């Protein structure tokens, strides 16, 4: 029996996800494993599943010699060094849509409980005091909320706050105007503009160099007196020391925080303020979100370990899953076309020109190019080349890639991939498409029109276009016990050089291949390719 692949899960994920993993993999569920132990044993695993605590950095990736995929059971990937993973050919996948509703609802919960002093009043009442005076809050009705980052969660917060009759304004320099319109948010061109008008500011950007301390003393200086703040995105997007300054001066009247600059957060000075409502990073912690996240990441990790193309890979172009279903056979085709060159030639490549033509061009074709490069480099780099690092590896080898799209296919095939591969001496030109059965078909090689399946063992050779050559060859193969499954012969002009492409059922041994070279009328060495 084939040994099952091994996955280590270093943080808590839902039972449903674990069950799915266990159905296909050997699962080591080590919620809360120490850093040093993880570093010691990571070389034993093919996959690692984390949430937001485990730091997947270069130190870990270097030791993870077997690792093929890091699954982030959640959304934010700021704890993962994606570039390092890419360099080592490791797929990083996350579940960006699985917990967004929960994060949006948690934002609303923090917003309401902070402006109504709910948590503070709860503490005082349970401690034995019935006093209503300190807790007077403010209504949301008719107030302005400023949303920073109108992505998945920001937009859900916008629609929910509309139901409270809030006036929604938003700042997000990276999205089209149409998105502001769609979510009924008035676009603000600068953060300062948003801060000047908002009664409550809520942040929903990723945390990166640009967004760290995005809301700071300078922004708060232009904000309304008594502004409310909410951060359910990532700690530090609102600078914590500026929050304290604003609470002390009275500039800020309420704060809701799910995330902190340093997590786990214990003894954070913000905990001393009654007007600050805090939760320990619970945005994604609902039964529904965790079930979705767990199942989704398990499915992706299983698929990745089977060599499939996974929908939410962070270090590959993002393609919608329906689009991916359509593109998948073309990715396989591109990969197999790429696979041809180094099985035939030994000379390094300087340049590749790829032309995609036909209706396929309305899609994102980057995955096809990546597939081609993976196939191209595989015969020389073997396991080292993966979808995630194929471009990087081609780049490191100085292979220049030029891509073009043409609406109309120049041949009778609806969609066509034409690939020219240049080395210092000559060029190899290939065209391919997929068959009705959605299998990869090579339809042209160096100007010879053919229709060859790129499957199993394929024998390619050139021959003189004259009687008797094909017969002698097929007899020789038959005598060597080689069964021919399919055969295509192509020529450009009658009587000149032709090519033969044969699909054979089994591997042809070296001495048989050598013997074929002695057949009168065959030109050069026959090449046995394997797909
Ligand atoms: N608290 C939780 O448990 C929890 C749960 C899920 C997600 N999150 C976090 O919520 C945040 C938002 O997640 P999402 O799924 O909505 O992300 P998203 O990628 O869908 O949206 C982020 C938006 O921020 C915008 N943006 C980027 N830089 C910006 C800048 N400098 N100024 C203004 N806008 C900017 C982007 O254009 C994008 O529209 C992330 O930080 C994520 O990690 C937290
Ligand atoms: O980015 C996320 O998905 C949230 O912040 C949740 O993080 P968690 O998986 O650690 O709860």
Q: What is the per-residue pLDDT across 262-275, written as a single tens digit (0 to 9) for each?
A: 999 999 999 999 99
Question: Could you count the other beta carbons within 10 Å of the beta carbon of residue 350?
Answer: 13
- Alpha carbons 294 and 12: distance in angstroms, whole number: 9
Residue 2 has pLDDT above 80, yes or no: no
Mutate to test the pocket of ligand 2, among 284, 287, 292, 296 (most ligand atoms within 8 A of CB): 284
Q: How far is the CA of 371 from the centre of ligand 2 (A)?
A: 31
pLDDT tens-digit map of 132-184: 999 999 999 999 999 999 999 999 999 999 999 999 999 999 999 999 999 99
Q: How far is the CA of 344 from the centre of ligand 2 (A)?
A: 49
Nearest ligand, CA of residue 207?
Answer: 1
Least confident of 18-22, 128-132, 146-150, 312-316: 312-316
Residue 452 has pLDDT above 80, yes or no: yes
CA dihedral of residues 137, 140, 145, 147 (deg, nearest 10): 90
Catalytic residue among 116, 207, 281, 391: 281
User: Which ligand 2 atom is the nearest neighbour of the CA of 53?
Assistant: 10
Q: Provide mean pLDDT across the span 106-118.
A: 98
User: Which ligand 2 atom is the nearest neighbour of the CA of 74?
Assistant: 3
- Alpha carbons 312 and 171: distance in angstroms, whole number: 26
Q: Edge to edge, what strands does the sheet with 47-50 contain?
A: 26-29, 6-9, 47-50, 69-72, 91-94
Q: Provide mean pLDDT across the span 236-260.
A: 98
Residue 485 has pLDDT above 70, yes or no: yes
Q: How far is the CA of 95 from the centre of ligand 2 (A)?
A: 10
Q: Specify the pLDDT at position 273.
A: 98
Residue nearest atom 33 of ligand 1, based on CA coordinates: 172
Q: Provide mean pLDDT across the span 343-356.
A: 96
Q: How far is the CA of 207 from the centre of ligand 1 (A)?
A: 8
**Average pLDDT of the residues of the chain:** 96
**Residues in contact with ligand 2 (CB, 6 Å cut-off):** 51-52, 73-76, 99, 281, 283-284
- Alpha carbons 419 and 336: distance in angstroms, whole number: 12
ipTM for this model: 0.99
Q: How far is the CA of 258 from the centre of ligand 2 (A)?
A: 11
Residue nearest atom 38 of ligand 1, based on CA coordinates: 151
Residue 320 has pLDDT above 80, yes or no: no
Report residue 79's pLDDT band, with 50, 70 and 90 as the boundaries: very high
User: Which ligand 2 atom is the nearest neighbour of the CA of 77?
Assistant: 1
Nearest ligand, CA of residue 194?
Answer: 1
Catalytic residue among 72, 116, 204, 234: 234
Nearest ligand, CA of residue 237?
Answer: 1
Q: Which residues of 298-310 are buried (b: 16+ CB within 10 A; e: fewer)?
A: bbbbbbbbeeebb
Question: Could you count the other beta carbons within 10 Å of the beta carbon of residue 506?
Answer: 12
Residue nearest atom 25 of ligand 1, based on CA coordinates: 149
Catalytic residue among 24, 263, 403, 464: 263
**Residues in contact with ligand 1 (CB, 6 Å cut-off):** 75-76, 96, 99-100, 103, 148-154, 171-175, 204-207, 210-211, 214, 232-234, 258-259, 281, 283-284
Q: Specify the pLDDT at position 499.
A: 96
To the nearest whole percent, how much of the chain has pLDDT over 90? 94
- Alpha carbons 208 and 78: distance in angstroms, whole number: 8
Mutate to test the pocket of ligand 2, among 11, 14, 51 (most ligand atoms within 8 A of CB): 51
Domains and CATH numbers, the chain: 6-96+289-315 (3.40.50.720), 100-278 (3.40.50.720), 329-530 (3.30.1330.90)
- Alpha carbons 421 and 355: distance in angstroms, whole number: 12
Q: Provide mean pLDDT across the span 515-527.
A: 95
Nearest ligand, CA of residue 72?
Answer: 2
Q: How far is the CA of 281 from the centre of ligand 2 (A)?
A: 7
Is the bond into 308 cis (omega within 30 degrees of 0)? no
Stated as kind and residue range, the H or E segment containing 113 is helix 100-115
Tokens 């919960």 belong to residue: 109
DSSP helix/strand/coil, 294? helix
Adjacent-strand bridge partners of 227? 252
Residue nearest atom 39 of ligand 1, based on CA coordinates: 151
Does residue 281 have an active-site annotation?
A: yes
Are 421 and 377 spatial neighbours (Cβ–Cβ below 8 Å)?
no
pLDDT tens-digit map of 378-431: 999 987 898 999 999 999 999 999 999 999 999 999 999 999 999 999 999 999
Residue 1 has pLDDT above 70, yes or no: no
pLDDT tens-digit map of 230-242: 999 999 999 999 9
- Percentage helix, strand, coil for the chain under 3-state DSSP, each rounded to 5: 35, 25, 40
Nearest ligand, CA of residue 95?
Answer: 2
Report residue 443's pLDDT band, with 50, 70 and 90 as the boundaries: very high
Q: Specify the pLDDT at position 394.
A: 96
Residue 309 has pLDDT above 70, yes or no: yes
């Amino acid at each position: 029996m084939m040994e099952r692949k091994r996955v280590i899960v270093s943080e808590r994920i839902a039972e449903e996800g674990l069950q799915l993993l266990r159905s296909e993999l050997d699962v080591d569920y080590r919620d809360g494993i120490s850093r040093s132990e993880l570093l010691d044993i990571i070389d034993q695993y093919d996959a690692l599943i984390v949430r937001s605590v485990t730091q997947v950095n270069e130190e870990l990736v270097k030791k993870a010699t077997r690792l093929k995929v890091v699954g982030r059971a959640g959304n934010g990937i700021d704890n993962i060094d994606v570039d390092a993973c890419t360099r080592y050919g490791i797929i990083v996948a996350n579940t960006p849509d699985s917990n967004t509703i929960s994060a949006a609802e948690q934002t609303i919960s923090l917003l309401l409980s902070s402006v109504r002093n709910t948590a503070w009043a709860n503490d005082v009442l349970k401690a034995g005091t019935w006093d209503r005076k300190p807790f007077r809050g403010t209504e949301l009705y008719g107030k302005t909320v400023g949303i920073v980052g109108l992505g998945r969660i920001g937009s859900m917060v916008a629609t929910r706050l509309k139901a409270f009759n809030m006036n929604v304004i938003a700042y997000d320099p990276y999205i089209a105007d149409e998105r502001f319109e769609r979510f009924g948010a008035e676009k603000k061109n600068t953060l300062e503009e948003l801060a000047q008008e908002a009664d409550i500011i809520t942040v929903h950007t990723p945390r990166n160099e640009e967004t760290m301390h995005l809301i700071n003393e300078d922004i708060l200086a232009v904000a309304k007196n008594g502004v409310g703040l909410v951060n359910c995105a990532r700690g530090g997007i609102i600078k914590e020391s500026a929050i304290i300054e604003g609470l002390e001066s009275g500039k800020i009247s309420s704060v809701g925080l799910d995330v902190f600059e340093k997590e786990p957060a214990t003894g954070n000075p913000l905990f001393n303020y009654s007007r600050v409502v805090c939760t320990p990073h619970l945005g994604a912690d609902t039964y529904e979100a965790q079930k979705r996240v767990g199942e989704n990441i398990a499915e992706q990790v299983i698929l990745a370990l089977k060599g499939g193309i996974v929908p939410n890979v962070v270090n590959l172009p993002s393609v919608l899953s329906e689009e991916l279903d359509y593109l998948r056979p073309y990715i396989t085709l591109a990969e197999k076309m790429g696979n041809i060159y180094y099985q035939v030639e030994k000379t390094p490549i300087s340049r590749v020109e790829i032309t995609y033509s036909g209706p396929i061009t309305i899609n994102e074709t980057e995955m096809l190019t990546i597939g081609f490069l993976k196939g191209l480099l595989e015969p020389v780099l073997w396991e080292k080349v993966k979808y995630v690092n194929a471009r990087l590896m081609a780049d490191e080898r100085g292979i220049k890639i030029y891509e073009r799209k043409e609406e109309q296919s120049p041949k009778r095939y609806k969609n066509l991939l034409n690939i020219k591969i240049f080395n210092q001496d000559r060029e190899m030109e290939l065209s391919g498409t997929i068959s009705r059965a959605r299998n990869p078909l090579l339809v042209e090689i160096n100007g010879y029109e053919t229709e060859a399946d790129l499957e199993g063992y394929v024998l390619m050779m050139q021959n003189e276009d004259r009687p008797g050559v094909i017969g002698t060859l097929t007899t020789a193969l038959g005598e060597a016990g080689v069964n021919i499954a399919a055969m295509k012969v192509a020529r450009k002009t009658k009587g000149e050089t032709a090519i033969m492409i044969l699909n054979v059922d089994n591997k042809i041994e070296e001495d048989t291949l050598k013997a074929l070279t002695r057949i009168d009328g065959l030109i050069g060495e026959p090449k046995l390719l394997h797909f």
